[in-house]
């Protein structure tokens, strides 16, 4: 079940979303969004909605206080953060998201480093 959820989250709530849903490279979408392209901005809003739903689901299972976003989408946070937070605020358990913080990683390979940290723990 965890593998399935991991795959679903990666499909809809990561930089791969653009390739999966629109057959377009995420870097190309990012460049277009920087230029103010309406279609690219809409794609980021959609991804933000999916990411917000993923985070909301995580808060139903775990009482997390901090989520760190990394990977290729970390640079595009301004383009999807509003929709992401709108979805998170729809959480049925208001207390579980009341103090939730979401930060952006400065590290290029934060996902790999986080996985390595779990192995060494």
d(CA 63, CA 109): 25
Q: How many domains does the chain have?
A: 1
d(CA 100, CA 47): 20
Do residues 105 and 68 lie in contact, with contact meaning Cβ atoms separated by under 8 Å?
Answer: yes
d(CA 58, CA 35): 33
Residue 45 has a pLDDT of: 97
- Taking the C-alpha atoms of 13, 47, 90 and 68 in order, what is their torsion angle to the nearest 10 degrees? 50
Task: Enumerate residue ranges in the chain where pLDDT < 50.
Answer: 1-2, 4
Residue 18 has a pLDDT of: 92
Identify the CATH number of the domain in which residue 86 sits. Answer: 3.30.420.40
pLDDT digits (tens, 9 = 90+) for 88-114: 999 998 888 999 999 998 887 776 777
Residue 63 has a pLDDT of: 87
- Domain of 44, in residue numbers: 2-120
Residue 1 has a pLDDT of: 46
């Amino acid at each position: 079940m965890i593998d399935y959820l991991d795959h679903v989250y990666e499909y809809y709530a990561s930089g791969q979303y653009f390739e999966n849903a629109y057959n377009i490279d995420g870097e190309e979408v990012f460049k277009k969004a920087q230029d103010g392209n309406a279609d690219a901005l809409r794609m980021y809003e959609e991804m933000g909605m999916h990411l917000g739903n993923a985070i909301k689901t995580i808060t139903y299972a775990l009482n997390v206080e901090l989520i760190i976003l990394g990977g290729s989408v970390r640079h595009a946070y301004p383009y999807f953060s509003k929709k992401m937070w709108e979805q998170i605020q729809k959480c049925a358990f208001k207390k579980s998201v009341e103090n939730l913080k979401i930060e952006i990683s400065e590290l290029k390979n934060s996902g790999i480093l986080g996985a390595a940290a779990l192995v060494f723990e």
